[in-house]
Structure 1
Amino acid sequence: MDDHPEPPTLRVFVALAPPDEAKDELARALRPAYARYPRLRWNRIEDWHITLAFLGEQPSTVVPPLRSALAGRAASWPALHLSLRGGGHFDQRLLWSGIDGDLEQLHRLAADVRDLVRSCGIEFRERPLHPHLTLARSRRDDHVSVPLAAAGLTGFTGRPWRTERLHLVGSNIGRGPGPIHYRDIEAWRLGDAVRARGGGALTEP
């Protein structure tokens, strides 16, 4: 739990995160792209995440009700089995790695999280879920590096992992010059209620 006081507003989203071993495996696969395309704005590895609900710029007053609601909901969802696979891009501008595995449950978890956020009275722009990790963004005058880097990930298949926690994440957007950095506001272990009931698998919370 992060005890630092929140700024008046912050960019907020709810996400899952791959374990360090999976991120390290992808980082090794990206080494040629890091060397060939140094002008891309590469995300920090510690900021890689799978966004379930992007809430945008919000007042810090949304954090306490979100903490309470998400803590209870995370406990009712079992861990998901996911992996990283391949690469792609959005509009030649944003480089991503795809997600494979228990995608049906991932979509159901995202829908449940979004419903929960709305039940807290928090308004946000609804976006279709395309599960991915954002890896890099291009600069305005570069229209080729992202597609080429994506092509280099075509054959990448990462090891499977179990999701362990649901993360409420905030960023320093609007806090001055420099790259955007993310931090966990709080994270909750998935499946505690499932384990308490004897480990039976759930299809929905």
Structure 2
Amino acid sequence: MDDHPGPSTLRVFVALAPPDDAKEELARALAPACADHPRLRWNRIEDWHITLAFLGELPAAAVPPLRSVLAGRAASHPALRLALRGSGHFDERLLWSGIAGDLDGLHALATDVRALVRSCGIEFAERPLRPHLTLARARRDDPVSVPRAAAGLEGFVGRPWPAERLHLVGSNIGRGPGRIRYRDIESWRFGTALRAADGGAPAGR
């Protein structure tokens, strides 16, 4: 996402994203639920992400300092080993897939990211980290589809994968009709400084 030209404010969050093969594996498992519950507002597979810190609406001028500190943190952090597993819902309204793997590392990374954001003078609402991938939302007149879809996906176990990049993401919410669209402002590969210090060996070895 370019700084110029562009909107004066952005809806921003910091996130991880599963690789394409992991998303495609989940999409195949989701196919029966998508067919059975067409009235759910299904998220696009391109928009699937694991939010570490939701920063809300920020002026565009706040983005460059975030780029600097997040790039440094990603460079010094090894890739996390994660997996998509199971499903559930929040208040029968939001359908999600669960996250398994190095959850201690995921929580530690989120804590670091939130501290770095605040070091840039950016305040945001602190929300407990509940690692998940949002898949769909219910319409107001459909109180049963989300729990049923979650039950059908409860046994899903995806293959493990490395979370290789830290993403700073902006969305178009509140900027016109249609669905929310997410776009990377920038992303950074984990462990580049670690690999350099280890003579080029992959991070995490």
Q: Could you state the TM-score of these two structures normalised by the residue count of structure 2?
A: 0.95
- Structure 1 residue aligned with 2:159: 159
- Structure 2 residue aligned with 1:101: 101
- Structure 2 residue aligned with 1:192: 192
**Distance in 2 between residues matched to 1:75 and 1:152, nearest whole Å:** 39
Q: Give the CA deviation at 1:197.
A: 1.5
Report Cα offsets for 1:47-98 as digits up to 9, x if no partner.
0000000001111111111111111111010000000000000000000000
The worse-fitting range, judged by mean Cα deviation, of 133-142 and 54-63 is 54-63
**1:76 is the counterpart of 2:57:** no
Give the letter for the 2:2 counterpart: D
Change (3 A) 1:114 1:145: same
Coordinate RMSD, CA, aligned: 1.3
Q: Could you state the TM-score of these two structures normalised by the residue count of structure 1?
A: 0.95
Give the letter for the 1:26 counterpart: L
Q: Percent same amino acid at aligned positions?
A: 77
**1:23 is the counterpart of 2:23:** yes
* Contact 2:74–2:166, Cα closer than 8 Å, also in 1: yes
* Contact 2:79–2:203, Cα closer than 8 Å, also in 1: no
Q: Give the CA deviation at 1:173.
A: 1.1
**Distance in 2 between residues matched to 1:71 and 1:83, nearest whole Å:** 24
Report Cα offsets for 1:127-152 as digits up to 9, x if no partner.
00000000000001111000000001
- Structure 1 residue aligned with 2:2: 3
Report Cα offsets for 1:145-201 as digits up to 9, x if no partner.
000000011110000001110000000011111110000000000000111111597
- Structure 2 residue aligned with 1:42: 42
Instruction: Tell me the secondary structure at the aligned position of residue 177 of structure 1.
Output: coil
**Runs of 4+ displaced beyond 6 Å:** none
**Distance in 2 between residues matched to 1:74 and 1:184, nearest whole Å:** 15
**1:134 is the counterpart of 2:108:** no
Q: Which runs of 5+ in 2 are unaligned?
A: none
